[in-house]
């Protein structure tokens, strides 16, 4: 039998720390907001901010990686 295992989504811990420091919400609340388990204006704001910061984080890492490949 093939049992499919559910995997937990992996969140960027550095971005979560930034959001927690900025807004003061718990990591659990932030993760649930990103996942969509919580609804509301604040949750939408946290989700949008997470995605924006995560994209910028990935861009910064890619830029640094290309500098090292010279």
Within 8 A by CB and 6+ apart from 14, the residues are: 57
Tell me if the pTM is above 0.95: no
Q: Quote the CA–CA distance of 60 and 18 in Å, as a whole number.
A: 16
For residue 69, the model assigns a pLDDT of 73
Higher-pLDDT residue of 70 and 33 is 33
Q: What is the pLDDT of residues 40-64, one digit of tens each?
A: 999 999 999 999 999 999 999 999 9
For residue 32, the model assigns a pLDDT of 96
For residue 67, the model assigns a pLDDT of 87
């Amino acid at each position: 039998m093939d049992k499919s295992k559910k995997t937990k989504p992996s969140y960027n811990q550095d971005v979560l720390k930034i959001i927690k420091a900025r807004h003061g919400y718990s990591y659990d609340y932030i993760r649930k907001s990103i996942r969509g388990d919580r609804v509301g204006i604040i949750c939408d704001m946290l989700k949008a901010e997470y995605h924006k910061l995560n994209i910028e984080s990935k861009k910064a890492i890619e830029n640094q990686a290309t500098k090292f490949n010279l």
